Structures are given as structure tokens and as C-alpha cells.
Chains A and B, each alone.
Chain A
Amino acid sequence: MNKIDLTFTVNGGVRTVATKPHRTLLNVLREDLDLISVKEGCSQGDCGACVVIMDGFAVNSCLVLAPQAQGSEIITLEGLAQNGELHPLQKMFIEKWAFQCGYCTPGILMSCYALLLHNPVPTPDEVKDAISGNLCRCTGYQAIIDAVMAAVAS
């Protein structure tokens, strides 16, 4: 299979990757660009561990074929902290113990970040809704919702 050149913006920088077109955005981000925050949990859009921001919206990167990302703007958890300063979501996730094993955390943080892009002052129910596609087996979700609300308040 011939490779295609995929050019897109990742965490503010323009990147070009030669990839076979049947690979997913998850594969390209993890394997070609070494963005390890993008986790693989199921590869079929059930768990949300691979959620990234694509053109302002949270997407399961395992369900995005690489060519679909052509010209798009992608943000992963690696791009959330600005100039070494943690995003309020990150600060509150640490403070509130909003993770345990941490495997689902990057995807959940990106879902929450996407929520705040569109709705800077969400209600707890809106936070629940925003992370409803992200499975977490450790925390029981409550600490995550508390952390997002604390980040909003700050």
C-alpha cells in the first residue's frame, strides 16, 4: 500500500508524516509522533482512552483514519500545559486525586478541555455528559467531576 503525506498541526506545530492511509490518527500520534499520552484501550471507540481535540472537538482518535486528519488542528495532552504552566484542569486533577492508575486520564482531560472550549462554566451534569464516553475503572468518576468543577471555579 502506498503511503500518503499527512500534514496537520499538532500542539501548535505543523507536522508532516508519511503514512499508509488505512492507519488511524491514534497510530500516527502514538507511533510516528511519539505522543504517548494518547492511549489505546479498545481500538473501537468504546473507552475514550485515545480522545484528542481535533478542530476544537473531542474525538476518539482510534476512529479517525489518518487521511481524515489532513489539514486539521490536533491537540493532545502534551499540548495542554502552556509555557510550562499546568492547565487548571491538570492542577485540580492532581489536587483532587481525580485519577488512580492514570491510563484513562489523558482522554478524560481532553474531553474536559473540549467541554471548556465550548462551555467555560459547565454544571456538574454537563461535565458528566462530557466524559460519558470515557471509561474509568478506578475512580468512580466523582473525583473527576469535582476536579473539573474546582478548575472552573479557579
Chain B
Amino acid sequence: MIKGSELGTSIIGKNATAIGGLEIIKGQARYCADLKIPGTLIGKLLYSKSPSAQVTKLDVSHARNLPGVAAVLTYKDVPGKNSYLYVYDDQPLLVSDIVRYQGDIIAAVAAEDEDAALSALDAIEVEYELLPGVFDPVEAMKPDSPRVWPGKDNITAHIVEEHGDIRAGFDQADIIIDNTYTTQRVEHAFLETESALAYADHDGTLIVYSSTQSPHSDRKQIARALAIPENQVRVMVPFVGGAFGGKMEATIQIHAALLAYKTKRPVRIQRTREESILTHVKRHPMTIHYRTGATKEGLLTAVKFEVISDTGPYINSGEEVLGASITLGYGPYNVPNARAEGFLVLTNNPICGAMRGFGLPQVNFAYEQQMDELAERLGIDPVEIRLRNGMKSGSTLPAGVKVLDGRGMKGTIAEAMRLSKWKDRSLIARQPEAHLRRGRGVGCSLYSTGYGAGVPDSASASLDMAADGSVLLRSGAADMGQGVHTVLAQIAAEMLGVKVSSIKLVTPDTQVTPDAGPSVASRATYVSGNAVIKAALPIRKSLLEVAAQITGLDIDLLSLRDGYLFAEGEELHLTVAGLATKALEKGLQMHAEGYYSVVLPGDYPEDEDPNKTEPFTFATHVAQVIVDIETGDIQVEKYIAVHDPGKMINIGSGLGQIAGGIVQGQGYSLMEELAVEHGYTQNLSLESYLIPTSMDVPEMEIGFVEFPYKYGPMGAKGLGEIPTAPVNAAIANAVANAIGARVRHLPITPECVLDALDKQ
């Protein structure tokens, strides 16, 4: 185990100041809504009044003639492709015939002010003929259920993966545990609602400021909808007020672009909180049947599970989310015989898609409670049973993907045990009062970095060093607060031997910054970080060549750090700025583009082929709770989380990712649920959809262990997604430990607790 400080250079592994941080704490950070252009029209969208209906009349003529109204657009006004979304683009931009959920968009309005825009929305005449609709995924799977898409099966994907001999595996088992788990639909609740500002530039280029995780995908979708070339669309990303997967998909930026294109005026769309909760994708609710077989020593012999995932009416990334549930649903354990089956089901409920953890948190809730129940029934310590089955370097997931570096499994468990004093049972033995029960639970996870083995995944970045040693770093990777810009600047600074303050990061702008792909899947640090390293290499070479010429020393003895030249650790009183000046005078390469592809063949030994391996990260969390057996109330008293980031490039942002992920996971575990009745969402405000406040947060102790990943930039792996995943299991296991009864339903409300106690 290597602690962060031992590995760190002057830059990597340190707490570098957040890029953009000064603007944020001064109140000068400009998010989409803070960008102002005189004469900007206010854009508003008309959402469906029904979750399932045929639109029989759509008349916008009256609305178009109202004072102050510049445009009222329907599906007839979309010049190009009238559909969008990130992976599978099956949602209409503007509905032509059938509305399939409450967030479907029927018309887009642009007006001089908000009052005029709202009046125009009111004046649009829409008549609906209600269709039956289907709101329960299990009902939707039946052959005679109403169809979300006429003529198309509601089961839109059916995945079956079987490895080993599942029957023989269960035959070998001394104990079999069979349970059903249900998880709920939850909302990202990013503080900045969806926002975009679009206008045509002097040369006709359509400029779209977008609150997004995916600038280049936005560009593609906007160009396709408007039937104009992609190079005529310029997507720029200012500060983004949180995303968590909810801004991977395009939301309102295409509609804003369409309105600007049609009106030839700047147009702003900013969703209200109500519109935001109503429309954008949610975390998939899943029903999971889980069957675990093991020997009496606690070794897994077979695992079989089935997942039913309600994706709402559009597929978008639903199949990928379900695929992640299937691949990762065995947890970080060696499972010799395995069978997983997944059903992706269309309903008229709110649409689901990417959300932090991307299919893992749901199955994590199931597999980790199965492990605990197994331990309990066999009389084995919950941690011990995890260690007995835990993956190691060289282990393979049932799907065949190899864990190249699995040291994080044992490493995170050991550190979490140390921090939580797991072996000291006196910590939980004392009950504070007669009606209170204290308990402790553990939850483990593994998550991949990037899209997954064999899936094309690449990014580009560029670097320019000027004669004064200052550097421009161009990357199309969006920073939504997770800190990737700071991390990329640190990597560039480390590689070029300058201070982080010498790096100027050019924020995503599709006409200036190279495509880095979306900031999703815990991939940005890994893929873009490697691209930055590749861009830095030729520039560093130019600097060192100049240095070797000046000093007469062998180039291999020279290094650059903090703006100075060093020879075998000794400072030589030559600055990087001076070397840069000379290099430019000599016409050496001081600009470079770095392209990194995860699946590029040839760079790897055969057994490390990235088509068959993934940079997996591991996490072990321990929750300590107090449960009131009279009210069912759960208080998370203490929370310990240990992660394995490969190399923590920035301590501040890395620990922040973990802390924030824990609290999101806590909300998912205990309080959050989008209440949907017959397709109508009931809690459309932050007053009724509750997320954790400062008063809900437990005492947290956050640790990390570092096992630098061979192919990671500076050894780093992804960290964004995994912190949310094990939380529900750690809390559920702690509750079970406290009250001696299990809750297999999320969120674990006081009612669930009392119910579980009643059934005891």
C-alpha cells in the first residue's frame, strides 16, 4: 500500500487549487444563465399533459400571432432529424403523433420576454386522445399489455449471459440464498437546471452555449436536427452546475439552437426546477431476483440473477445501463458458475438513463446483502467472506473480462477495517437507549474505468507552449465540478516541468478544443489524461534537446520541474521559459496534439490486451447506524469509505468526489424516490423531492489506497462513479445488523424498517 504523499511529485498527488475556483468563490463564475446578449429571446417548451396519448389536434396559429412572440415551432419546423438522445436517439425533439411520457415536448416557443412566452404556451391548442399506457414494467412484459410503441414489443432488450455450469454450481452448494430486491427511480437534482443560449454568429455559425457533459455529441445532434454541417455549429461549455449523468444526454440545447436558427435571434432556454424534474432521464428502477449458492466455507459456487429494468418510453442508454448491471452484478467476487438475465422494458413512466454509478448501485444493493446473509447463515464474519471470494489481480469477471490489477480489493478492505476498527465489536455493542439499536455494515464494489472492454474509447487534447513558458491546454472534456480540468492541468504541468499556474486551460469549445468524448463513465481523467501526456511528450523533447545543447549534458540526465531545469536532481539555473524561447527560435515543435485510444492494438502485451481487460477500481465502505425500533428512523452515525483510485492526482477533488458520492448514495438509500403514479410525477420540487441537507450528513472518514495502474495517466484510474454504489448496501447491512431483519427495498424508509421488524 502506497500512501498518496509518498508517491507525489511537486504536483501530482497534491491539493492543487481548482481551475475556475477563484471565479467560483468570488461569484464571478459564469454558467449558461449568466451569459448575456442584448436582444435575447426567452425560449419555452410545451410539455405533454398526458403520459400516453395520441395528439389529435395541434394548432399554433393563435400563439404565433400574439404580441412579443417570435416563433412557435412544431415537428413540422424541424429541418433535419426529429429525434435525439445520446446513445440510441429515439426521443422526438418535437412530438408529431404520440406522447409517451409526461416530459415529451410538443412545441417550442421564443418570445421577447417570459410573460409573452408563457402566454404563447397557453395559446397553443392541443387535443389528446388518451391511450391506455403501461406503468408497471412487469405488466408491460406481458404479451397482451398496451404497447408503448405500436407494433413493437415492450421488452426492448433481453440479455442472457451464462458462464460455467450454473446447474452444477448450485448442486455443489451447501447453502442457497434466494431473494428479490427492488430499487426506485431517482433524480439527479443538479443545482443548475438545464440551460442553453444559442445565436448565429456574424458568419452564420450557430453558437450554442450548453450546460452539458457531452459538447461534441451536442454538436452532432444539433447539426443533424438542423440539417447543417457540424462545422457550422459551435458548442461551448461555460461553468456547469452539476450533472451526475443527467447532462450526458442533450436536454434543451437542440431546441434552443432550433429556435435561434429559425428566429435569427439569440435564444435562451432555462428549465424551471419543475420542468427539470419532469423531463430529464432518471436512474432506472430495477427489480432483481438474486440466487446465491456457496459451500459451507462460504465460497461461492454459483450466482444467478435476473434484472427487470424500467427505462420509460425511450431506449437511449437503457441497454448500456442494463449491460453494466449484468456485467458488474456479481460484485468484486470470483463466481465460477454464473447466469444473468436482463429485461429492458418500455413503459410510459419518466424516461431513465445515465446516473452516477450507471447500473451498478441497483445490483450492488442486491449482491452485497446476499453476501451478508450468506455470512450470517454460515456464521462467518461479513468481511472474511468477502476476502475469501474477493477478486485479485488476474481474476476474471464471469463475462470474461480480466482484472489486470486487483490489489484494490484487499487493499480497500484492509484500510476500511483499520479506519472503522471493524474488529472492535464494543463500538456497536452499546445501545444508547432502550428503543435504539446500533449496527454496522460493509459494502464493496468494483467499477470499470471507461466504456468497458473492447468498446472504442478515445480522446484528443492539445498543448502549446509559448516563449515565456506559459502553456495553453485545449481539451473538449467538460468539467461539471468533478475537477477534470484541474487534473488535466496538473498532468500537463508535471509533464512539461512547469507550475500548474502556468497552464491555461481552454474550456470546451468544439471549434477550438479537440474532441475528448463525454465526461461520463469515470473516463475523463483516464482517457484525456493519457491524451495530455501524449501531447506533452514532443514538447518536452524539444525543451530537453535545447537544454542538452546548452549544457552539453546527456539528455537522459535532464529533467524539468516547477519551471526549472534539473540534472540528476540538481537545479541548473535554466528556466523552462528560457528553453522554450530557444526552442521556438530554432523552430522546434512546441505545439502538439495528443490522441489516446483505449483499444488501440499493438501497444500491449497479449495478456494485457485492453479488449479483454479493464482498469477496475475497488471500494469498501462501512456504515454505522442507529435504528429507532419504535419509529423506524435510521440515523447514519458514522461512515467510512476507502477507494482505490490507482493514483490520486488531486487530493482535494478526489476526496471531494468520494464525499459527495457517499452523500448522494445516502439519499438514494434512505430518502429519495421519484413518486410516479400512472405516469404522473408527484414530487416536482425540491420541497417534495428531498435530497440530503447538511443536517443529514454523517461523520465521514475517507481513505484511499494507491496501486498505480500500469496504463493510467500517472497511474490514475477513474473515480467519479463508484463512490455512490456501495452506500446502499453498507447501510442496508448495518440496518440488518442493528435490528436483525432485512430490508430489500429502496429507499429504506422508517415504514420499511417497521415492516421488516413486524415480519421478524
Contact = CB atoms under 8 A, between A and B. Distances in A.
Interface of A: 34-37, 39-44, 46-47, 49, 76-78, 80-81, 86, 90, 93-97, 99-106, 109, 127-129, 131-145
Contacts of A37: 26-28
Contact of A131 (B26, B30, B661, B694): B694
A142 B659 contact: yes
B15 A97 contact: yes
Contacts of A133: 693
A30 B33 CA distance: 10
Given A42-B685, A76-B27, A137-B244, A132 B694 contact: yes
Contact of B191 (A34, A47, A141): A47
A112 B243 CA distance: 25
A102 B659 contact: no
Interface in B630-683: 652-653, 655-657, 659-664
Given A99-B24, A135-B189, 7 more contacts: A43-B273, A44-B687, A46-B273, A97-B656, A101-B239, A135-B686, A140-B697
Contacts of A77: 26-27
Q: How large is the interface on B (under 10, 10 to 19, 20 to 34, 35 or more residues)?
A: 35 or more
Contacts of A103: 31, 190-192, 239, 241-242, 481
A49 B192 CA distance: 9
A40 B272 CA distance: 9
Contacts of A140: 656, 659-664, 697, 700
B693 A135 contact: yes
A27 to B, nearest CB: 10
A47 B694 CA distance: 12
Nearest to A102: B24
Contacts of B687: 44, 46
Contacts of A42: 273, 685-686
Nearest to B21: A94
25 contacts: A35-B27, A36-B28, A37-B26, A39-B31, A40-B33, A40-B270, A47-B686, A76-B27, A94-B18, A99-B481, A101-B241, A101-B243, A101-B480, A103-B191, A106-B27, A127-B694, A128-B694, A137-B190, A137-B191, A137-B244, A137-B660, A138-B656, A140-B661, A141-B692, A142-B700
Contacts of B483: 100
Closest 3 CB pairs of A and B: A37-B27, A101-B481, A103-B241
Given A102-B239, A139-B659, A141-B663, A128 B28 contact: no
B695 interface: yes
Contact of A141 (B242, B273, B697): B697
Contacts of B34: 36
Contacts of A129: 694-695
Interface string B28-45: 111101101000000000
A126 B482 CA distance: 28
Nearest to A1: B115
B27 A142 contact: no
Contacts of B22: 94
B240 interface: yes
Contacts of A139: 656, 659-660, 663
B686 A100 contact: no
A138 B30 contact: no
B25 interface: yes
A52 B424 CA distance: 47
Nearest to A47: B686
Contacts of A76: 27
A56 to B, nearest CB: 19
Contacts of A109: 25, 27
A41 B191 contact: yes
A128 B695 contact: yes
Contacts of B662: 140
A90 B655 CA distance: 20
Contacts of B65: none
B17 interface: yes
A129 to B, nearest CB: 7
A119 to B, nearest CB: 16
A144 B660 contact: no
Given A132-B693, A137-B691, A143 B656 contact: yes
Contact of A132 (B36, B656, B657, B695): B695
Given A49-B191, A102-B20, A109-B25, A97 B660 contact: no
A102 B481 contact: yes
Q: Which residue among A103, A136, A141 has the maximum number of chain B CB atoms within 10 Å of its CB?
A: A103
B188 to A, nearest CB: 8
A104 B692 CA distance: 14
B530 interface: no
A43 to B, nearest CB: 7
A86 to B, nearest CB: 7
A41 B21 contact: no
A42 B684 CA distance: 11
Interface string B260-279: 00000000001011000000
A41 B660 contact: no
Contacts of B243: 101
B193 interface: yes
Nearest to B661: A140
Nearest to B22: A94
A135 B242 CA distance: 12
A139 B189 CA distance: 13
Interface centre among A76, A131, A136 (most CB of B within 10 A): A136
A46 B26 CA distance: 23
A137 B242 CA distance: 8
A61 B26 CA distance: 18
User: Which of the listed residues B653, B662, B691, B693 has the most CB atoms from chain A within 10 Å of its own CB?
Assistant: B693
Nearest to B701: A142
Interface in B697-727: 697, 700
B239 A86 contact: no
A129 B239 CA distance: 28
B655 A97 contact: yes
A49 B190 CA distance: 12
A34 B273 CA distance: 22
Nearest to A37: B27
